Structure 1
Amino acid sequence: MQTGFNRWVPVIISLCCLFNLTDDVLAQAISTVLDDARHHLRNGSEPEWSDFESAPESHELVLEFEARANPDEWCLEVTQNNVKQNWFISINGTKLAALHVNENPIVAFFSIPPDTLMDGVNELRITTTAAVPDDIVVSQIVLHREARSEFLRQTATLVVVEERGKAIPCRITVMREAVLPETDMRQEILMTTGCETSQELAVRPGVIYCTGQARILLPAGTYTLIAGRGPEYGIAETQVTLREGEEQNIRMDLIREVDTSGFVSCDTHVHTFTHSRHGDATIEERMLTLAGEAIELPVATDHNLHIDFVPVAHRMKMLDYFTPVIGNEVTTKIGHFNVFPVDSEQVPLPNFKSETWEEIFASIKSTPSVQAIILNHARDLHSQFRPFDPRNHLASLGRSANGWQLQVNAMEIINSGAQQTDMMRLVDDWMGMLNAGHRLTPVGCSDSHDVARHFVGQARTYIRANDENVGALDTAQAIDNFVNGRVVVSCGLFCTIKVNGEFTSGDMVPSSGEYEVEIDLHGPSWVEADEIELFANGKSVYTKILSPEQRSYAGLKCRATVPLNWPFTNDCFLVAVARGPGVRRLHWPVARPYQPTSPHWLPLCMSVTGAVWIDINGNGLFDAAKQVAMQVRQQCGGDFDSTLAELSRLDQATSLHTWAHWMNYGQPDLTDEQQLRLRRSEPHVRDAYATYMTEWRASQIEAVR
């Protein structure tokens, strides 16, 4: 299978030796390393991340090298890392291409058109015009005297991936190992292949989604291949050494390691380049990635469009693997909201040009059949508006600072395509909303626009529903359970909660003398778990640290059974959160934060349960903290001592809302005597007051900026 110039290399070398030809002639027959140093480039004054705190080499790379003119197409190899903005490669003033916008390390290859190089000294530049700071690393720059397509197709490996003897859609990750320049450390790097996207393959550097079989074309060398299918499955890994012209056959078996019976995997936030016009995943590639990541209930949410995946999925024979739902990311100047289901593509769009929440939500609610309304990425800035910015929102109170009414019934708490610096930030925001009386389903989603960079289904929502036939799911049942909070949010881990052996997420637990909480934590062997934490009304009440042996178990990693210690008389909701270190290997890498608030970042894998509601007071209802606080205010009026006495038997969330009522959500007016009595009150009452004051002041500062 030798191709192009490479088949003549042995002959040329022999002739050079025989006739004692010059080194220049020999150099033309082989690849040439132009530069093997590590170059740290930065286009701004401040480091983007703490692991790039050292001073950069420059804001651009300028490299001079000796070469001969290229009468034919050749190619350039560049190893890149942490590229978030557009960086362009040029040779002798001719722009070749842009580096791949992808923060993961990649061995990239770029075509050099004929007559780009000249005899003698040539100049290579890597530059950016981006205004947003970006720290990148480039290294191992190699000139190959062969066309890109030929160089990348020196070998062929037929990979078949099966589950129980049957080919299964999956992701295959191809990596090359390299020694980092100026260190002895070895690093896995995504390796560009010679494969091309087709009806059967979705291809990006180092990543191939397929229906169970892929013929992978590569240069000669040694590579690691990993097959996977999302967090319900283990991974299959093998190393291959390939000689030029060689063909190999490899079979890889995937084993389901996590039992999610009775749940369907849903990604509520899925885009395509075909319709959203940004990112890179065409609608055909999206079908392959959904199947390859085992997303069973994908919701199409292209911006301000109603898109039906069914015709394309049917044409590609993918409907055995998932049941599509038509949705819409209603994209406005004052927030983004995913809505579904929509009956058809012909249904009129909600008015996304409205400039008030009242009008936007009225328009959404008038859209036939829509049941789920999700607040998307509440901490992200779009169109100069951030829904949960302190100037707009008091997080602990779950209350708008400007009087706007948020009319949603779900909220993203893990968005793997728009990660938070603190991955608990949105979880805390959500629990604050629950304490304010908002019944919101927690949502995990990918917000994926891409094939590989921010891939579909990394964060997802498991919905309690019949999952026996994923190609014909009962969408009405699934969506009803979604709206009612019968869910588990997953980003690598799968955590469930049960109270008194019977009641789980979305359920109301009747009043009882005792409450026993059982938390199960599942995950694949390649995702580690560190701890389980139980929250009651947003306050941590129990933590279990996993043993070293449990961390990497396949399947059930840990079961924790704990009596609920709730000394208060008001109702409470329970939420379990599981955490572990973020996956760093390139078959499933957790992305860096989308809009970081700090250069320091700790990647996590997580799972969050939907809330279980406990009717502590036995009135047959769930009384949220805000509602109980209003009752305290009515009962005690302006009597400060009575209020303190009442709060001593109520929890911190209720105390927080009581102080907000007391201050009328404004400037505190406690007298010196009241301040003294407050300091002598129960710790949770004092802490609630301090939390309110801190948050209120922060909101006031932001409001005048």
Structure 2
Amino acid sequence: MIRSPERPLRPTAVRARARRPSSPAGLAALALACATCAPPAQNGSVVVSSGAAERLGMLCRWGHAGAEQGDLCPRADGAARPARVRRIAGPADALSGPLAAGRPGDHVLENDEIAVVVEQLGPGAGLAESGGHVIDAADARARRDELGQIVARLGVPARQAVYSELTTGAGEDGSAWIEVRGRGGAGGALSVTTRYTLGPRDRALVIATSIQNDGSAPIEGLDLGDVVHWGAAAPIAPGSAPGSRGEREAPYVAGVGTGVAYALATADGAPLRARSGAGFSDATFARPAALPPGGRAAYQRILAVAPRGDPLAVATELFFLGGGAPGGVALELVDARGAPLPPLAGRATLTRVAEEGAAPAAGALDLWLRTGERAPLAAEAPPGLYLVGFEGSGRRALASARVRIRAGEIAPARLALSGAGQLDIVLHERGVPAPAEDEDLFVPLTPAKVSLLDAATGKAVSPPHLTLTGELQLSLPPGRLRVVASRGPEYALAEATVDIADNTRARLDLTLERVVDTAGYIGCDLRQHTAQSADAGVNATERLVSNAVEGVECAVTSEHNLALAADLRRDTAILRLDAKLRVLPGVELTSDRRGAGIGSLGVFPLGSEAAAPREGALRWVDKAAGEILREVRALPGERVVQVSRASAGGSPLHAQAPPQGAPDQGARLLAQIVGDGAGADALEVWTGRGVAARDSALEELWALLRASRPVTPTATSDTHGLLGAEPGYPRTYVGVADDDPGRLDAADLVAGLRRRRDVVITNGPFVTMRLGDTRQGGIASMGRGSRGGPLSLSIRVERAPWVDARELHVLVGGVAAGAPIPLEGARTTPAGALVDEIAIPVVLGTGGGRRPAWPDARAGGAPGRSRPGQGAHHPVRVAEDTFVVAIVRGRRPLEPVLSGDPAEILPFAMTAPLWIDADGDGRSLGRAAAP
């Protein structure tokens, strides 16, 4: 529905026990749909209710984590102060929280209920091309922000509004507003106006955007919406679990944090179309036909801020905003004998019971209880009949409680919970000495990830547990568990089966052992994000711990369009990880010019030459990738420039591809900025779990190499979260002189990626390759100018026992050289790794070159000359300069260390190209031999 921005929304007070509007439309219908998952109404007027003073006093009692009532309740006379807008002058004016980005000069729009920060004009934060967007939002009393940013999205592919004017004002009804104006769309043909309005008591910000086509041609593909980067909040939609991805039609999208939640909904109750990915939601509110010259369109939506971080808070807030009168539920948790239990962390679920023939709800509403935060054992809820359950802290409800919640009343729910057992896990690392008794200050770090699986079914009973010190104390439900400890692909698993009994304590000692020999290489994740990126919600400590438990030795924090904000060296030292993990600050710069972007450029390491966030020399707005590259190369010092792609489910604001209909343009752009000495050094060919994208990127890599554009292939996790986006899967091993993370020479790492190009990319197996004395990444000469006789291609595949590796594929010039070679772990090292060693002669001759002749022993060659996985194989013949790559594939997913789609977690590893100089002139496809 297209609405006119000249008709502003008018907040309407609704008493707690007042009748709902006579029409079940507008936000009342939307809110009821949120609570019951019934189809929302799609007609009627807009109603955003106020009346916070009449909410049964429940916000005063529970909504703010137990603060004193006198600080929370409205004044006795019920009067509300007007909403106001002001500029941030110092830290005291801004919001707090893991993603709070407000700084002096930004604008705060607030009342006594919520506070919202709109960024000042100028360079935008995160993926925003300008200021003028919402960057912070919080409860006005707690003032803790967990939101990333909200950016208006115009069209498909996404185009942003770039704002250049900002005004503020106040209404006679006590509301306050901020209005921004600018341009957007292809060639800036659209004039865009967005107004943010907040009433005196509303917990919802009204956002109204209007556009006009000032160009001479119609504009098509104008999906009108917002891209929300949820930051520290997990995206949800009705009937879905937090963090769920995919596309759906729903009455709202939301994000739930630890102490606050947000909901974005249409202002007229109509459903919206939303696609959610890793930390973002792309919501479409209107889809007008082509906008003719001079044509106008508009759309309105609301951003609701709930004072608690769980799905129940979201549903209740929208219900109240729609004019509904909530009730409440009070939980009493007891043991099987009826004795009261202490505060427990867990999840209480309210499942709506169908009444009078109505369809049952699609999903439960969750109330999350967090110990240590004075979390409520009571909360508001929409009226209705519910089944209340509980699970957490190793306990579960023995039976659900049936409660009737009525408007203005508190319904008690008494839940008897099962007993729980205690499991203490102590992790050791073989070869690391235990501390002496008098070494009280010495704490040996044994980082590990511990997965708990049902011993009978193999299903996970909880998310993985992470530990830095090798100690865990877990409350668990009774039963038999398989406990698996891991520390990345270089380590063997440590596992055991244990029986957990009610009200008993068990201890389990496990020993981790590093079995894979990666001497001379350091395992790096060259692109990952923390809460400093608007689309990630992982704080510095969580990010460092997640790297350590996965065995990552070098990590690059590549925040979106930021620089110094992600320098984690101090945090690394505080956690005593600086001997095990080296963190390099970097930046991810997105090229936004339409048709000129190929994704983003990662730049690392950065130091004092890069300026503070949003004010740096590394500018990206309205620049093509080549222009950004020239600015980077003009900076003092040496650094790596990596061409990156958006990971699967990445933000639609992250430009990554040329327009449809120009399939060759991306390849041409890529060829212009890599492999020419001053261009990009590395090409990210594997991002996160994007297997299909990896295969496509490899074809681009082969084309670049054949075109004499040498480039280093890399693999990164591009992680924005934790579970399902673990750091180091995949990772890039870089050949360095000293592979000790505590002594890593950053300049040597840069040289390894820029010049030596000696890398291995993998999510499990470790594969290396030599031709004579030349390792992958180098150039081996075998023509007239070379010394010695025929050369042998030596390939070594090593992996931990839990990592599968079945096939070795050798590609020459990007083309498979014969059938895959089977691998079977022909040898076991003293440490316990499985090893295959393959030798393949490489000779000069016809029939080779870029399409070599390699007879398959199973198809008429000489069978039986070598066992699978070791010995000599039939020769590869080359007739001209070319390159060789070794690829290893496995067939068994990397479970239980990783979980998810099995096809996305199959083992894969690849060497860097090894260039072959066939004519002996010291060069091969743009690669020159070292003097």
Give the TM-score normalised by structure 1: 0.63
Distance in 1 separating the partners of 2:536 and 2:418: 28
Residue 256 of structure 1 is matched in structure 2 by 514
Distance in 1 separating the partners of 2:414 and 2:798: 48
Question: Deviation of residue 545 (structure 1)?
Answer: 3.2
Distance in 1 separating the partners of 2:397 and 2:617: 50
Residue 446 of structure 2 is matched in structure 1 by 169
Distance in 2 separating the partners of 1:519 and 1:431: 20
**1:519-554 CA distances to partner (integer Å, 9 max, x unpaired)?**
111111001111111111111114443255659995
Q: Which amino acid aligns with 2:625?
A: W
Question: Deviation of residue 445 (structure 1)?
Answer: 1.4
Question: Deviation of residue 281 (structure 1)?
Answer: 2.1
**1:418-466 CA distances to partner (integer Å, 9 max, x unpaired)?**
4133643222221221112222111011111223220111211111113
Distance in 2 separating the partners of 1:149 and 1:327: 51
Question: Deviation of residue 76 (structure 1)?
Answer: 4.9
Question: Deviation of residue 251 (structure 1)?
Answer: 1.3
Q: Secondary structure at the match of 2:492?
A: coil
Distance in 1 separating the partners of 2:541 and 2:600: 25
Cα 1:305–1:562 shift into 2, 3 Å? same
Residue 564 of structure 1 is matched in structure 2 by 842
- Whether 1:232 aligns to 2:478 is no
Question: Deviation of residue 122 (structure 1)?
Answer: 1.9
Residue 567 of structure 2 is matched in structure 1 by 308
Residue 545 of structure 1 is matched in structure 2 by 821
Which structure has more relative contact order (CA 8 Å, sep 6+)? It is 1
Q: Is the 8 A contact 1:530 1:579 kept in 2?
A: yes
Q: Is the 8 A contact 2:348 2:367 kept in 1?
A: no
Which protein is richer in helix relative to its size?
1
Q: Is the 8 A contact 1:497 1:518 kept in 2?
A: yes
Q: Is the 8 A contact 1:190 1:206 kept in 2?
A: no
Match of 1:527 among 803, 822, 839: 803
Q: Which amino acid aligns with 1:243?
A: A
Cα 1:221–1:387 shift into 2, 3 Å? same
Cα 1:321–1:76 shift into 2, 3 Å? closer
- Whether 1:413 aligns to 2:685 is yes
1:294-693 → structure 2 map (5 Å cutoff): 294-306=551-563, 307-333=566-592, 334=597, 335-344=599-608, 347=611, 348-377=616-645, 382-383=652-653, 385-387=655-657, 391-394=661-664, 398-400=667-669, 405=673, 407-416=679-688, 418-421=689-692, 423-467=694-738, 469-484=740-755, 485-500=757-772, 502-512=773-783, 514-548=790-824, 550=826, 554-564=832-842, 567-568=848-849, 569-581=879-891, 583-589=893-899, 601=903, 603-623=905-925
Task: Determine what percentage of the aligned residue pairs are the same residue.
Answer: 21
The count of aligned residue pairs is 502
Distance in 2 separating the partners of 1:449 and 1:460: 15
Residue 213 of structure 2 is matched in structure 1 by none
Q: What residue ranges of structure 2 are gaps of 5+ in the alignment?
A: 1-243, 250-274, 276-328, 334-342, 350-360, 370-374, 390-395, 402-412, 434-443, 784-788, 850-878
Distance in 2 separating the partners of 1:434 and 1:148: 65
Residue 108 of structure 1 is matched in structure 2 by none
Distance in 1 separating the partners of 2:584 and 2:571: 13
Distance in 1 separating the partners of 2:625 and 2:718: 22
Distance in 2 separating the partners of 1:118 and 1:389: 46
Distance in 1 separating the partners of 2:657 and 2:606: 25
Q: Is the 8 A contact 1:88 1:96 kept in 2?
A: no
- Whether 1:223 aligns to 2:481 is yes
Cα 1:42–1:390 shift into 2, 3 Å? closer
Out of 540-549 and 376-385, give the one that drifted further.
376-385
**1:550-584 CA distances to partner (integer Å, 9 max, x unpaired)?**
59995243111112366343200111111112525
Q: Which amino acid aligns with 1:309?
A: L
Q: Secondary structure at the match of 2:581?
A: coil
Q: Secondary structure at the match of 1:188?
A: coil
Cα 1:349–1:244 shift into 2, 3 Å? farther
Distance in 1 separating the partners of 2:587 and 2:669: 25
Q: Is the 8 A contact 2:452 2:461 kept in 1?
A: yes
Distance in 2 separating the partners of 1:165 and 1:147: 50
Q: Secondary structure at the match of 1:471?
A: helix
Q: Secondary structure at the match of 2:513?
A: coil
Q: Which amino acid aligns with 1:361?
A: L
Q: Which amino acid aligns with 1:567?
A: G
Out of 155-164 and 294-303, give the one that drifted further.
155-164
Q: Is the 8 A contact 2:724 2:898 kept in 1?
A: no
Cα 1:358–1:345 shift into 2, 3 Å? closer
Question: Deviation of residue 217 (structure 1)?
Answer: 2.6
Question: Deviation of residue 173 (structure 1)?
Answer: 2.6
Q: Which amino acid aligns with 1:541?
A: A
Q: Secondary structure at the match of 1:313?
A: helix
Question: Deviation of residue 89 (structure 1)?
Answer: 5.3
Question: Deviation of residue 147 (structure 1)?
Answer: 10
Give the TM-score normalised by structure 2: 0.48
Cα 1:375–1:215 shift into 2, 3 Å? same
Q: Is the 8 A contact 1:435 1:624 kept in 2?
A: no
Question: Deviation of residue 280 (structure 1)?
Answer: 3.5
Bigger Rg over Cα: 2
Match of 1:284 among 527, 535, 541: 541
Cα 1:359–1:254 shift into 2, 3 Å? same
Q: Is the 8 A contact 1:530 1:551 kept in 2?
A: no
Question: Deviation of residue 248 (structure 1)?
Answer: 2.3
Question: Deviation of residue 514 (structure 1)?
Answer: 3.2
Cα 1:346–1:408 shift into 2, 3 Å? closer
Q: What residue ranges of structure 1 are gaps of 5+ in the alignment?
A: 1-39, 49-67, 79-86, 99-110, 126-139, 180-185, 192-204, 593-600, 628-705
Aligned-pair RMSD on alpha carbons?
4.2
Question: Deviation of residue 293 (structure 1)?
Answer: 1.7
Question: Deviation of residue 264 (structure 1)?
Answer: 0.9
Question: Deviation of residue 144 (structure 1)?
Answer: 6.5
Question: Deviation of residue 609 (structure 1)?
Answer: 0.6
Q: Is the 8 A contact 1:90 1:96 kept in 2?
A: no
Out of 472-481 and 554-563, give the one that drifted further.
554-563
Q: Secondary structure at the match of 2:527?
A: strand
Distance in 1 separating the partners of 2:691 and 2:503: 46
Q: Secondary structure at the match of 1:399?
A: helix
Question: Deviation of residue 168 (structure 1)?
Answer: 4.2
Q: Secondary structure at the match of 1:324?
A: strand
**1:582-636 CA distances to partner (integer Å, 9 max, x unpaired)?**
52523223667xxxxxxxx5642111111111111222211369x9xxxxxxxxx
Question: Deviation of residue 71 (structure 1)?
Answer: 4.5
Cα 1:354–1:538 shift into 2, 3 Å? same
Distance in 1 separating the partners of 2:245 and 2:606: 47
Cα 1:584–1:578 shift into 2, 3 Å? closer
